[in-house]
């Protein structure tokens, strides 16, 4: 992370078992030469698209970069680790291990999918390669930084699709899970497609436009609604959006119109009215009629009140006259699915004697939980209409570069196959981010990342973007990788 929110080291932002495994690698190195330095490859991915949807938006890489750049155990970190004890009350870690951590500098290679890229289940979002001890220490923080931002960016992208060309505002800070939850959600929501946030600190730190109006308490603090509106318009004549549902919504619209006339006489405009309760379809239609008849066709109608993509779609189908949508709780908390479920799995380990790669995988009785081995990359094929399919392949085997017609196999149904030509239009999604612990990738600014999301969505077939029973985007394993995985499964089953 950029450490703008915190004045402490974040290197202990991890689960204890990451530290105990790191200690195990280090300690076993006393009898098993090079155990902690043994080269490994880990892959971060997720198993299912969130919200029952057909796509996911990758997000969080910028904060990953900040975390990696600032990684290092502080004296306070090490002092705390010294206080940890085992079941016998004795120190959990040798002092020599803590000295090792004090001097530890990351030397890993990291490849990742750029933020704002549309991705799909089982595709690597981040690939970490380097000494296994270092790779292990990064598991929890990388999952924490990628999982939540990816979830919120995806939710915002779905809201963007439902709102179409209307203005979409993120209003969720007060309902977010803590300070970091609110800040992270505001950033990811803007990347995913929101036009602005109510979160002023996020506006300052992340260069996100900020928008807002007043609360019901403003109206309630005056003797009557009309006076409240007039006072607000006098104080902020260049930012007048009036919340009209404190007492009687349609009467509130009429009061707003009268204040709008006063603003017009002073050379200003009534920007919008906001509806925060009631039958939003009916009230917005009636409010639009009142505004138009009074000569205020330019005054917009804002709606809030526990909105999500399904409700917005329904209101549009009902003919609601709303052009600005403020979404809070159900966006920043990912209300209908509060976790992405990303995982981080060991995929390869280099043999210290032969220098060859040993491919690793986790077996499961559930096919969806069986991991994929290898040093994975994703090749996305496309044509003039958009994205066609994504093929996961193993970079270390060189299969795609040697084959003129690579074959993609569905990992859950080997009878489903698709053949490509190497000269078909394509791009490889994982890009180098760190090499030997040094940053080699400059992340685009937040506005370019937000634009990337919309360009990516425009390249998806409409069926993949629908909310109910979306079409499944084709993702598969390159044939050699599929055969390797099958062979490993059979060998492991035999054991």
Q: Chain-centre distance of CA 4, in angstroms?
A: 19
What integer pLDDT is reported at residue 225 of this predicted model? 97
CATH topology of domain 213-322: TIM Barrel (3.20.20)
Among 92, 75, 71, which residue's Cα sits nearest to residue 13? 71
Maximum Cα–Cα distance for the chain, whole Å?
86
Locus of tokens 């009036």: 242
pLDDT in tens, 330-344: 999 999 999 999 999
Q: Are 338 and 311 in contact (CB under 8 A)?
A: no
Q: Could you tell me the residue ranges of all domains in the chain?
A: 213-322
Q: How many helices (H) and strands (E) does the chain have?
A: 18, 21
Q: Taking each helix axis from N to C terminus, what angle separates 139-163 and 61-69, rounded to the nearest 10 degrees?
A: 160
What integer pLDDT is reported at residue 17 of this predicted model? 96
Among 401, 399, 394, which residue's Cα sits nearest to residue 376? 394
pLDDT in tens, 68-118: 999 999 999 999 999 999 999 999 999 999 999 999 999 999 999 999 999
What integer pLDDT is reported at residue 4 of this predicted model? 53
DSSP character string of 209-249: -B-----HHHHHTSSSHHHHHHHHHHH-TTS-EEE--SS-H
As a whole number of angstroms, the distance between CA 226 and CA 251 comes to 10
What integer pLDDT is reported at residue 146 of this predicted model? 98
Among 40, 24, 143, 142, which residue's Cα sits nearest to residue 94? 24
Which parts of the chain sit beneath pLDDT 50? 1-3
Which parts of 111-194 fold into alpha helices (H)?
132-137, 139-163, 178-192
pTM for the predicted model, two decimal places: 0.95
């Amino acid at each position: 992370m950029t450490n703008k929110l915190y004045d402490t080291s974040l290197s202990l932002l991890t689960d204890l078992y990451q530290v105990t495994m790191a200690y195990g690698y280090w300690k076993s190195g006393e009898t098993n030469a090079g155990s902690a330095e043994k080269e490994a490859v880990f892959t971060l991915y997720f198993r299912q698209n969130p919200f029952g949807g057909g796509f996911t938006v990758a997000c969080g890489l910028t904060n990953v970069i900040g975390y990696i750049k600032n990684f290092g155990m502080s004296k306070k970190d090490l002092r705390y680790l010294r206080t940890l004890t085992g079941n016998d009350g004795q120190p959990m870690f040798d002092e020599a291990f803590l000295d090792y951590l004090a001097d530890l500098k990351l030397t890993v290679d990291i490849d990742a999918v750029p933020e704002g890229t549309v991705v799909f289940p089982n595709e690597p979002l981040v690939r970490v390669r380097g000494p296994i001890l270092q790779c292990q220490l990064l598991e929890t923080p990388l999952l924490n930084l990628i999982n939540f931002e990816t979830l919120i960016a995806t939710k915002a992208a779905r809201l963007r699709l439902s709102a179409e060309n209307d203005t979409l505002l993120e209003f969720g800070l007060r309902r977010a899970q803590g300070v970091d939850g609110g800040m992270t959600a505001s950033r990811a929501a803007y990347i995913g497609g929101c036009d602005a946030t109510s979160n002023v600190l996020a506006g300052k730190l992340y260069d996100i436009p900020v928008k807002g109006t007043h609360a019901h308490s403003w109206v309630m603090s005056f003797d009557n609604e009309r006076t409240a509106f007039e006072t607000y318009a006098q104080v902020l004549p260049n930012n007048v959006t009036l919340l009209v549902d404190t007492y009687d919504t349609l009467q509130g619209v009429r009061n707003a119109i009268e204040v709008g006339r006063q603003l017009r006489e002073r050379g200003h405009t009534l920007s919008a009215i906001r509806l925060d309760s009631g039958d939003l379809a009916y009230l917005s239609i009636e409010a639009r009629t009142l505004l138009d008849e009074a000569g205020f066709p330019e005054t917009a109608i804002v709606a809030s009140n526990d909105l999500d993509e399904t409700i917005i779609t329904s209101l549009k189908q009902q003919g609601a006259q709303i052009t600005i949508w403020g979404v809070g709780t159900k966006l920043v908390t990912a209300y209908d699915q509060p976790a992405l479920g990303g995982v981080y799995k060991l995929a390869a380990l280099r043999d210290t004697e032969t220098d060859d790669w040993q491919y690793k995988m986790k077996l499961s009785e559930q096919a969806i939980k069986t991991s994929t081995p290898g040093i994975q990359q994703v090749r996305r094929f496309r044509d003039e209409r958009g994205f066609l399919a994504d093929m996961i392949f193993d970079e270390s085997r060189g299969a795609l570069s040697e084959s003129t017609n690579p074959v993609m196999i569905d990992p859950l149904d080997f009878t489903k196959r698709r053949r490509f030509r190497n000269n078909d239009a394509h791009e490889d999604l994982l890009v180098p981010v760190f090499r030997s612990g040094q940053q080699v990738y400059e992340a685009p600014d937040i506005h370019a990342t937000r634009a990337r999301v919309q360009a990516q969505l425009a390249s998806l077939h409409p069926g993949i973007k629908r909310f109910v029973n979306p079409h499944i985007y084709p993702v598969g394993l390159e044939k050699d990788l599929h055969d390797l995985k099958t062979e490993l499964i059979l060998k492991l089953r035999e054991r």
